[in-house]
Amino acid sequence: MVTIPASEAKNLDMNVEYIVRTDKNGNISLIPKLDNPFKKAEPGEYYEKDVWADMKPAGKEVW
């Protein structure tokens, strides 16, 4: 739990869960936690056709 002064918290939504990150300089970032978009996805909903499947190497590409 992180305590934030009221003067700094006026722009924060208190009904949102945040991920707290601290960088190497000691700066604290509050990142809103998002719901997992894949949790309720239907099978194949995020499938994208492999457009590279029929490509043949044209030079020194490693395939």
What confidence tens digit (pLDDT) does each residue in 31-46 have? 999 988 888 888 888 8
Domain ranges within the chain, ordered by starting residue:
1-35
For the stretch 12-33, pLDDT in tens is 888 999 999 999 999 989 999 9
DSSP strands (E only) in the chain: 18-22, 28-32
Cα separations (Å) of 47 from 1, 22, 24, 40, 43? 38, 35, 38, 15, 9
| Contact (CB, 8 A) for 18 and 32 | yes
Distance CA 35, CA 18 (A): 12
The pTM for the full model equals: 0.49
